[in-house]
Structure 1
């Protein structure tokens, strides 16, 4: 497959998007500069987490702003508009309907990689995608998941710069930050301005 046929798929809550997410996108383009595109796929509800309190329209706005300066990087709103839990297999199958000739490169963090064999129909996901790109969140080196041994030829470990940021921690921190007018270090200025203007996360 030519690199121009590669389509990155980066899903998550992005509630809110932060500089750690931006670093993952940077790493993708550093490693695959000739890829066709990278899709940012914010979910509505994760099967593993509680329902979001942040309106979908606000998350889409924040995500658009966070990634607007990256080339060929687009937001795909299919998951967040479904208003149901987001299962990766369903997303991959839907995306292959839209882009049947694409080689999909699914980006996941090291924490999700370690639990990937517990995902719904995880083997079918790996059979459908061209590659699984694992980015670092906390560890200098990512431990192997022995349950995925059969698919090692599809797995690529990215050496992205580690930025200690998590959306769940930011959501807890933001009410006081907004009250004090103090921007969290993990947020870009543009994302922070929108959050402050909307008085969201309070």
Structure 2
């Protein structure tokens, strides 16, 4: 075998090594679910869903991104930004697979998902982000700002919401429908109940309930 043949074999071997290392790197990247919402307040439905997605849908962790303002919601319904972040931090304290993030607080407003995803991928290139959205929001997804680019450039994990079925047959490869249970609990219901003096402690993490009790005295 002449020298050129050995050279070609060496190049092929190095290329194979590079491809193997790239594949290994991709497989080892932390699969991080991005659960973005007002969390107004965060409740056990949010926590149970995130728990399920970690244990059954292949996510390594879930980040709770507290949004300062959703363009599709009335801003005056929101409790204080820092207070909602504090509630999220209280709810997940001690659980290593969950993280509360205020990254959207420092982004231009109104807050758009595409900007958040771009910032996350720029800041944390070692993670593979998966956008978590409910099937009710998936029905509105075409209305989202730059929805086509979100769909083309990101992994999306859709969880079921009552009354909004999603068929996985027509979805692109980077969109997955979770088989998670549905949790029919709403933050609006909890706020209204506490305003009426109702005891809804079992809808909330104990630390969240305690913090909210000072805001909604019975």
Alignment of 1:44 with 2:87, yes or no, is no
**Distance between the aligned counterparts of 2:95 and 2:30, measured in 1?**
18
Residue 143 of structure 1 corresponds to which residue in structure 2? 166
Residue 98 of structure 1 corresponds to which residue in structure 2? 123
Q: What are the superposed Cα offsets for residues 5-57 of structure 1, whole Å, 9 maximum, x if unpaired?
A: 3221110010000111011111111125562x321101000010011441112
Runs of 4+ in 1 over 4 A off after TM superposition: none
- Higher share of residues assigned helix: 2
In 2, are the aligned partners of 1:45 and 1:83 still within 8 Å (CA)? no
Normalised by the length of structure 1, the TM-score is: 0.84
Q: 1:76 to 1:201 in 2, by over 3 A?
A: farther
Q: What are the superposed Cα offsets for residues 131-153 of structure 1, whole Å, 9 maximum, x if unpaired?
A: 211112325x832389xx4x521
> Secondary structure at 2:156's aligned position in 1?
strand
Residue 45 of structure 2 corresponds to which residue in structure 1? 20
In 1, are the aligned partners of 2:131 and 2:157 still within 8 Å (CA)? yes
Larger Rg belongs to: 2
**Distance between the aligned counterparts of 1:25 and 1:115, measured in 2?**
22
Which of 185, 189, 199 is the matching residue for 1:169? 189
Which of 127, 149, 153 is the matching residue for 1:124? 149
Normalised by the length of structure 2, the TM-score is: 0.78
Residue 189 of structure 1 corresponds to which residue in structure 2? 206
Higher relative contact order (CA 8 A, sep 6+): 1
Alignment of 1:2 with 2:19, yes or no, is no
Give the alignment's Cα RMSD to 1 decimal: 2.5
Q: Structure 2 matches for 1:52-131, cutoff 5 A?
A: 52=76, 53-82=78-107, 84-129=109-154, 131=155
Q: 1:115 to 1:34 in 2, by over 3 A?
A: closer
User: Can you give the 5+ residue segments of structure 1 that lack an aligned partner in the other structure?
Assistant: none
Deviates more, 1:22-31 or 1:3-12: 3-12
Query: What is the number of residues matched between the two proteins?
Result: 192
